Structure formats: structure tokens, C-alpha cells
Amino acid sequence: MDDPRGYAKVYVDSSLGAEHLSMHISVIKGGMRAHDLHQHDEEEIYFILEGIAEATIDGEAFIANAGTAIFVTGDKMHAIRNYSDDTIKYQFL
């Protein structure tokens, strides 16, 4: 909770026995990035609940408003950041 970027509430992950699934809701403060560009084997879906996000996938940036789903294959370098000064909230699957 002391993270200056925001916070995440984890609902499902490997600590609960999930082998191929994780789910959390994240709240990211204005202008902040949830994490640096990265890649991994798993696919991901970000569903923007509130605010405006910028998703970077394989070097290309996309703006996503509330109600937008972003699908990322694990082999692509990707990251998400808050595109505005207000907080954003997104669900991660």
C-alpha cells in the first residue's frame, strides 16, 4: 500500500493453486506505470474500468478508455501506464 504508483488487489494467483490463471484489480496514480516493459509466456487481458490508459505492445502505444479490453500475447514486450493525471483502475486476467 506504500507504493507511490498505486496498488493491486489480487484475487487469484499461484498462491491459491492456480496454474495458468491470475486475476487482480489495479489502481494506478496519474502518469504512473504499473511496471516496466516485460514479456513472459502467459497471455494477458487488461480491462480498463476507469480512466485512460496507455498500453505499449511490441513497441506500439495504444490509448484505451474505460470499457476497453486489451489482449496481449506473452511473447510481446508490453506495459501499461496511466495516461492522465487522474487515477485509473483496471482488471487483469
Spatial contact of 34 and 92, defined as CB atoms under 8 Å apart: no
User: What is the domain partition of the chain in residue ranges?
Assistant: 6-92
- CATH-assigned architecture of domain 6-92: Sandwich (2.60)
Residue 53 and residue 35: Cα distance in Å, rounded? 13
The grid cell for 74 is: 506473452
Write down the pLDDT at residue 41: 86
Write down the pLDDT at residue 1: 52
Give the pTM.
Answer: 0.89
1-33 residue pLDDT tens = 568 899 999 999 999 999 888 999 999 999 999
pLDDT mean over 64-89 = 95
Nearest to 30 by CA among 61, 54, 62, 57: 54
Nearest to 70 by CA among 30, 32, 29, 26: 26
Residue 27 and residue 29: Cα distance in Å, rounded? 7
